[in-house]
Amino acid sequence: MHRDSDRYRMFSRRSAIFLGGQVVLLSGLGARMYYLQVIEADRYRTLANENRISLKLLAPPRGLIVDRFGRPLAVNRQNYRVMLTPENVGDLDQTLDRLATIIPIGPNERQRIRREIKRRRRFNPIIIRENLEWNSVARIEVNAPELSGIGIDVGESRHYPGGTAVAPILGYVSGVSEKERNGDPLLELPGFRTGKAGIEKTQDLALRGSAGTSQVEVNAFGREIRELQRLEGQPGAEARLTIDIELQHFVTRLLGDNSGSAVVIDIHSGEVLAMASTPSFDSNAFNRGLSRQEWRDLVSNPRAPLNNKAIVGQYAPGSTFKMVVALAALEKGVMTPRSRVFCTGEIESGDSTFHCWKKTGHGSMDMMSGITQSCDVYFYEVARRTGIDRISAMARRLGLGARLGIELPGEKPGLMPTRKWKKRAKGVSWQQGEILLAGIGQGFLLATPLQLAVMISRLTNGGRAVEPRIMRQLVSFGAPEPEPGAAPLFPGIGVNRNHLRLIGRAMAAVTNSPMGTAYRARIHNPEFRMGGKTGTVQVRRITKAEREQGVRKNTELAWHERDHALFVGFGPVKAPRYALSVVVEHGGGGSSTAAPIARDILTEVQRRDPSRGRAAGILRPAAAGSSEG
């Protein structure tokens, strides 16, 4: 009996402990459920929605690029793309073979398609081809029953209505490279394009805009079921340039098939009105995708169509540099306007003989006649008295020998050598003969066409350090129209204005005096008369034997051995407003090749409303039906 009582108490005690444990466990479970379902309800509801709702980025429209009058240079247009959804394709090879009867699909494209299929989920479509012609789109739609998994999608693509004339300025857009991927989700979007050259590159971030978003409901496998909400992105800013697209086309036509460049600039504001480089390329071809052969043709072309020669081309300035030499001598007092040098056609320096372009010589020359007739012997002597360091210092004040900071990529600095530079770069001292070559703009000297146009601007605008610009303004989408900005005020370059006036008169005589080297290319209309300076730059050494037998003409030489033809100028002479430079690679004589092109450009610039142009520095577009182009 006693034993049964002990067993009962033990059983009861164990039951109580077991029951208490259950109560504790149930209480803990209840507390946990309360915590998860009540206190943490919002958090888990959010997590559930995040698993159910996928947020997608939408590419914003790229900002437009327009000229100074708002005429479109780079726009967006509909882009028809053919897409492939792998899960809907039965036999991939068979489907691609059928599609290849409508649009060409090469072996490399097939490999790319297979790689993307392996990387992505099978229900995610991939791009096969973009920028389809409407005929191709229609044929694909008609043959849709036989093209399982193939469909047409409509997006936006960059288009350049200005064609090749403006391509060196605008550049182009292309697919995002691996180097550009920096974690920005916008760059991961299929088909997204970034600027690779020109304005498209320097203003790329502003032109991209802000991405939009799309909330879509997805199932457990990530398949999209429906779109819940859509917020469109903000288009990129509008880039307004200083160029006049009609003038740009005009200048490009004048350069024609030549390899060269031309720059037109407002001498007071620094606005670039035209910047042409030939031959050029088609920006639209880069957007659609170049073939390997097309790319090889571009990079192997000896005339370098991918280069914007106005800022990348570096040339010996030749006789267009003689105003710099003259001004350096005047400022240092080593020469006066009346100082004379007698030209016999050559000059001796050490063991070398330096020749004038006029074999019989010019006779007695002063500074005015030396510039007008471009006497080499006169400038040999001016340079010898002045010295390379003084000449280079003056050149830099006029915008040569350093990058000008224009809003384009790849600008080259040119070269204005000094004694220290020669010792550092070549390891030897400056030689007497080298200063004579510098006096006629050859030897080590290099300048870009843009620098030469800026040089003329500073010589003719009263000695102001004008800086070139091709970007007028960026206007954000939806922002109010900005007020016209005040004309920039540039500091002086610290040159005697009487000396600048002398240089200006001499340049006017180059084109308007019968003794001037560019008299045949003068502008006959007295209202539009220009001043300028010719330049002919040798690209090969003329031997003593050749001089004795007779120097061969440019027409007798291979293209790459012919002289470069240069001209720099300004207009109108009475009230200078515009400056320009023209460089024709291997074009022969500056007076015969470059000067006529410059004449026609300066005539057109002034003819496009000269009264307003001279007063405000702004060209107006030709009226509809007008003969002005």
Other Cβ atoms within 10 Å of 254 Cβ, number: 19
Residues 283, 319, 457, 591: which is the catalytic one?
Answer: 319
Q: What number of CA atoms fall less than 13 Å from residue 72's CA on the CB side?
A: 10
Q: What radius of gyration do the chain's Cα atoms show?
A: 36
Q: How far is CA 548 from CA 249, 343, 357, 391, 456, in A?
A: 45, 20, 15, 33, 37
Residue 471 CB partners (closer than 8 Å, separation 6+): 199, 203, 239, 240, 241, 242, 407
Q: Find out whether 288 and 349 touch, Cβ atoms under 8 Å.
A: no
Q: Provide the β-strand partners of residue 582.
A: 262, 567
Token pair of 323, please?
Answer: 């105003």
Token pair of 446, please?
Answer: 């290099």
Tell me whether residue 15 is one of the annotated catalytic residues: no
Helix (H) or strand (E) holding 328: helix 322-332
As a whole number of Å, the end-to-end CA separation of the chain is 127
- Find where tokens 């694909």 sit: 140
Q: Provide the β-strand partners of residue 214.
A: 56, 230
Residue 174 CB partners (closer than 8 Å, separation 6+): 193, 194, 196, 286, 287
403/312 Cα distance (integer angstroms): 10
Q: Provide the β-strand partners of residue 580.
A: 264, 569
Residue 12 CB partners (closer than 8 Å, separation 6+): none
Backbone angles phi and psi of 355, in degrees to 5:
-100, 155
Q: What's 446-508 look like in SS3? A: EECHHHHHHHHHHHHCCCECCCCECEEEEECCCCCCCCCCCCCCCCECCCCHHHHHHHHHHHH
- Find where tokens 């600048």 sit: 500
Q: Find out whether 366 and 339 touch, Cβ atoms under 8 Å.
A: yes
484/242 Cα distance (integer angstroms): 13
Backbone angles phi and psi of 82, in degrees to 5:
-100, 125
Q: How far is CA 322 from CA 329, 394, 426, in A?
A: 11, 12, 25
Amino acid at 425: A
Helix (H) or strand (E) holding 353: strand 352-355
Q: How far is CA 97 from CA 107, 132, 148, 271, 618, in A?
A: 11, 18, 12, 54, 57
315/333 Cα distance (integer angstroms): 29
Active site residues: 319
